[in-house]
Amino acid sequence: MDIRTPPLCLNDADRPERPSRADAEAAIRTLIRWAGDDPDREGLHDTPARVARSYEDFFRGYAEDPEAILTRTFEEIEGYDEMVILRDIRLESHCEHHMVPIIGVAHVAYLPDRRVVGISKLARVVDAYAKRLQIQEKLTAQIANTINDVLQPRGVAVVIEAGHECMSTRGVHKTGVAMVTSRMLGAFRDDPSTRREFLAMISNRRCTGSET
């Protein structure tokens, strides 16, 4: 599947039938038993229902259309054509290999060409893709490609820095390690000075207004 195509774009005939809530809770009970505990004991009695509800939040991105999020734009920008950056967007996703959290931040920038989009929409696009089973490389490309395809700006840049619990809580057990991925399109790929400006701006982590 093309990484720019969200699962919701599949034809209904191609999409596997979604299990019921009861099916999901039964599966969670099975996992509890497999782990060696009793799903009927007091502390775990309501756990299958709680986990199913939490999955609805963890993976709500499957119910969202990232391209639709960006469709409302604004053209009254008084000729503004400089970089627009949304930095340090909180990112919460889940590794598609082990289904454990990926926690980090995303930095998103674009160079507008006659129109801009509300900044909250950029954060929503990040969430729409992050709230799915993911690998960070694909997530980075999906965000950048969608912004580029819908807004058609002069350039798009996305950098993600994240920790992966599949590495820190299992396997090699290496904590404090951040994975960094980037996707540069248009001017951010072709113009070294534009790319340097973006990377310098996201490297400055001092919060605006933190000094008097």
Residue pLDDT, tens place only, 38-94 = 999 999 999 999 999 999 999 999 999 999 999 999 988 888 889 999 999 999 999
pLDDT of residue 11: 53
For 119-129, how does the pLDDT look when each residue is reduced to its tens digit (9 = 90+)?
Answer: 999 999 999 99
How far, in Å, CA of 79 to CA of 192, rounded? 23
3-class secondary-structure state, position 92 = strand
For 36-50, how does the pLDDT look when each residue is reduced to its tens digit (9 = 90+)?
Answer: 999 999 999 999 999
Q: Is there a catalytic annotation at residue 136?
A: yes
**Which of 64, 94, 136, 142 is labelled catalytic?**
136
pTM, full prediction: 0.87
With CA atoms as reference, report the closest residue to 104 among 96, 113, 112, 94.
94
pLDDT at 33 over 80: yes
Chain mean position to CA 149: 17
Q: Is there a catalytic annotation at residue 98?
A: yes
**Which of 92, 95, 152, 161 is labelled catalytic?**
95
With CA atoms as reference, report the closest residue to 183 among 198, 169, 172.
198
H or E, element range at 107: strand 101-111
Q: Is there a catalytic annotation at residue 9?
A: no
- Helix, strand, coil tally for the chain in percent (to 5): 45, 20, 35
Please check whether residue 94 is in contact with residue 100, taking contact to mean a CB–CB distance below 8 angstroms.
Answer: yes
Q: Is there a catalytic annotation at residue 142?
A: no
Phi, psi of 85 (to 5 degrees): -125, 135
Q: Is there a catalytic annotation at residue 164?
A: yes
